[in-house]
Structure formats: structure tokens, C-alpha cells
């Protein structure tokens, strides 16, 4: 969030500040004595491109007297504008507010980022559970933190549930002998990177898997999607000649983030059917491996609370 002081009046009230959320909202924050439906909202533009008015709402402000004629009894005012989709990921340098006087605000360099679930900004009908708890195509990116773990002592690699083949492509580019394994489904075939196609085996999901065991097996953000997770754990052990790296969503972020009142959005993925803690993941794989170590990836901080996106297990047979 970037906040810029404004201090300017307009026909509907007064604007104290302009706040830019990375997710694509430009918020004018101030106060007004008028009904929101009668307020002529100021024009807002970024780098010369007008923004679309999204919503106007009230909030409590103890420093501004309440106009009793305003039904909700709150004097604070927020005016939210949405950036057009073409401005996501574009470097922006200034914003203009047309209040009683024109305010040209310098941004330095600011970049919006297209958020997940951004359609929620624009829908006018009530959404149902299936619209929120959704599932999309495989991620086209690889996680550099996971790649760093792999490269510590990789040998040849099987990427179990390789998705779009992003990690497979990168490992092959780095000269690692790698085989990806994925379900033979249209959404997978459509998402596969061209550089990964020759390294990926598509199959029906049954065990045993149609690939040869390898020194290292990677199972990144996959085990939480497999209903028969115990059978999958046995198969991962069979395929791993020495090392197994497993990453899953760190479900402990729910109680960890309780005080901040947040829930990481990835937990809304509809096809998650298993939710692992460090204890449950260790109990699952300890019978197959001599050493089991844990770490965390994807550190983030919200409202002063730190949480991690992924729980990571690195298990070795040390034969």
C-alpha cells in the first residue's frame, strides 16, 4: 500500500489522502456530510488514463463531526477506483485528482499486480461456493526456493506432479537429467511448456507410476490434492533412490494468522483434500526414510504477523 497526503476539498466533501493498493484499487480517503448517492465523485487518472469508479462507502472517523441526516451515522468517506486491466504490471509515475483544485501526485515508480480472484471486484450477482473455492490451470512458473533445494544434491530427478513442466524445463536447461510425471488430462496437455514436453510422462494416475526411480523425487504442492495420500507416500518412497522433497501448504498459517484475521488465499483451492502439519507429514514418511528434515518457504508478513506459505520436508534414505 502506498499512501500520499492530499488535503483537498471537492463538492462532496474533503479528501485527506490517496492510497494505492498493489491489487488494483486507488482509494481516496476523507470525509463528507452528504449522502453517498448524491456525491459527485472526483475524476481520477493514472498517467493520463481515467480510472473507473468502483464503490463509495462510509467508515467511522472520530475526528469529524457526524451529520445526523446521513443515515449510517459515519462521517468518514472512501471512494475506490479500479485500474483498467491493461495497467497491471505497467510502471506508473503519476496520478491526478480533479478536486476543487487539480492535484498532480508523483508516484516515483509504482506497479500494480493482477491479483487472484480479481473478478470479485466486478461481479454484480451473489457468488456461490464454487465461484470462490475454485481450481485453475497449473502454475506456469517454478519456485526458485524449491529449485535451490533441488540443486543442493539433485542427481537425476523425478518431478512427481510437474504441472506445466516449469520446473522440468528449468532443470533440463541447467543440465539435470529430469523426468516429469503428470495426469493425462486436457488442462495439463494445454498448459505444458514446449521445452518440457519431451521430458514429461502423462498417465492415468494409477500406481505404480510409469517412470523409473531416480536419485531425487520432487513432489511440490501435489500431495494435498491426492485422496489416496498414503498410497502416494509409498509410491514416492519407491521412486526415490535417496532423497525426497515434499512441499505442501502450511496449514498452521490458519491459527498463526488468527490474531490478524486473515487467511492466505491459496487455501481456497477447491481440490485440496489433505491438510498436513509438520507432525502429520513426518508420521507419514518417517517409516520410509532414515532422516527427515523440515523447513518453510514463502515467508510473508501481514499486520505484523509472519506466516509461511509452504511446509517443506526433505527426507533421505542415506543408503
CATH number at residue 246: 3.40.50.150
Would 138 be classed as within a structural domain? Answer: no
CB under 8 Å to 274, separation ≥6 — which residues? 223, 224, 225, 226, 227, 229, 248
pLDDT tier at 137, thresholds 50, 70, 90:
confident
- Alpha carbon distance 266, 257 (integer Å): 14
Same domain, 70 and 206: no
Write the pLDDT tens digit of every residue in 266-301.
888 999 999 999 999 999 999 999 999 999 999 998
Predicted local confidence at residue 7, as pLDDT: 95
Same domain, 93 and 32: yes
Q: Could you tell me the pLDDT band of residue 44, with boundaries at 50, 70 and 90?
A: very high
- Could you tell me the CA-to-CA distances from 139 to 55, 146, 165 in Å, in that order? 32, 14, 9
| Together in a domain, 233 and 195 | yes
CA distance 70 to 76: 11
- Please list, in sequence order, all residues whose beta carbon lies within 8 angstroms of the beta carbon of residue 215, skipping any fewer than 6 positions away: 154, 155, 156, 157, 241, 242, 243
**Domain check: are 245 and 103 in the same one?**
no
Cα 15 to Cα 26, 30, 309, 310: the distances in Å are 13, 4, 37, 41
Q: Torsion angle of alpha carbons 19, 55, 267, 200, nearest 10°?
A: -90
Residue 124, domain member (yes or no): no
> Per the domain annotation, does 247 fall within a domain?
yes
Domain match, 178 and 306 both:
yes
Q: How confident is the model at residue 24 (pLDDT cuts 50, 70, 90)?
A: very high
Domain region containing 96: 2-115
Is residue 175 a part of any domain in this protein? Answer: yes
Q: Are residues 99 and 162 in the same domain?
A: no
Q: Are residues 81 and 155 in the same domain?
A: no
- Is 261 a domain residue? yes
Task: Enter the pTM of the model.
Answer: 0.82
Distances (CA, A) of 228 to 116, 123, 231: 29, 37, 6
Residue 13 falls within a domain, yes or no? Answer: yes
> Is residue 123 one of the residues assigned to a domain?
no
Please state the domain count of the chain.
2
User: What DSSP state is assigned to residue 205?
Assistant: S
CB atoms under 10 Å from CB of 69, counted, come to 9
Residue 169 has a pLDDT of 98
Would you state the pLDDT for residue 70?
A: 63
- Is residue 154 packed enough to be buried (19+ CB in 10 Å), middle (13-18) or exposed (0-12)? buried
Find the CATH number of the domain harbouring 23: 2.60.40
Q: 156 and 98 in one domain?
A: no
Query: What digits encode the pLDDT tens for the residues 180-204?
Result: 999 999 999 999 999 999 999 999 9
Residues 80 and 165 in one domain: no
**Torsion sign over Cα 56, 58, 59, 62:** positive
Amino acid at each position: 500500500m502506498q499512501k500520499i497526503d492530499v488535503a483537498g476539498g471537492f463538492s462532496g466533501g474533503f479528501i485527506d489522502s490517496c492510497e494505492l493498493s498493489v491489487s488494483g484499487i486507488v482509494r481516496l480517503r476523507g470525509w463528507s456530510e452528504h449522502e453517498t448517492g448524491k456525491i459527485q465523485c472526483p475524476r481520477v487518472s493514472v498517467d493520463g488514463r481515467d480510472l473507473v469508479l468502483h464503490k463509495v462507502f462510509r467508515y467511522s472517523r472520530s475526528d469529524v463531526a457526524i451529520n445526523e441526516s446521513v443515515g449510517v451515522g459515519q462521517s468518514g468517506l472512501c471512494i475506490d477506483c479500479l485500474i483498467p486491466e491493461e495497467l497491471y504490471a505497467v510502471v506508473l509515475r503519476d496520478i491526478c485528482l480533479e478536486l476543487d483544485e487539480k492535484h498532480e501526485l508523483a508516484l516515483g515508480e509504482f506497479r500494480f499486480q493482477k491479483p487472484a480472484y480479481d473478478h470479485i471486484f466486478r461481479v454484480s450477482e451473489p457468488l456461490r461456493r464454487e465461484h470462490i473455492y475454485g481450481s485453475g490451470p497449473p502454475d506456469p512458473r517454478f519456485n526458485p526456493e524449491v529449485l535451490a533445494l533441488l540443486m543442493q544434491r539433485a542427481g537425476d530427478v523425478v518431478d512427481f506432479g510437474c504441472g506445466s513442466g516449469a520446473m522440468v524445463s528449468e532443470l533440463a536447461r541447467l543440465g539435470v537429467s529430469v523426468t516429469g510425471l503428470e495426469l493425462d488430462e486436457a488442462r495439463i496437455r494445454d498448459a505444458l511448456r514446449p521445452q518440457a514436453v519431451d521430458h514429461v510422462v502423462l498417465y492415468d494416475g494409477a500406481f505404480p507410476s510409469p517412470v523409473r526411480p531416480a536419485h531425487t523425487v520432487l513432489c511440490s504442492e501435489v500431495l494435498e490434492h491426492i485422496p489416496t495420500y498414503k498410497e502416494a507416500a509409498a509410491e514416492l518412497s519407491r521412486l526415490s533412490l535417496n532423497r525426497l522433497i515434499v512441499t505442501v501448504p502450511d496449514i498452521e498459517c490458519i491459527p498463526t494468522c488468527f490474531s490478524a484475521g486473515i487467511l492466505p488465499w491459496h487455501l481456497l483451492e477447491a481440490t485440496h483434500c489433505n491438510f498436513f502439519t509438520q507432525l502429520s507429514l513426518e508420521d507419514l514418511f518417517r517409516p520410509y526414510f532414515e532422516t527427515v528434515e523440515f523447513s518453510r518457504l514463502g515467508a510473508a508478513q501481514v499486520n505484523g504477523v509472519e506466516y509461511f506459505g509452504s511446509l517443506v520436508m526433505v527426507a533421505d534414505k542415506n543408503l
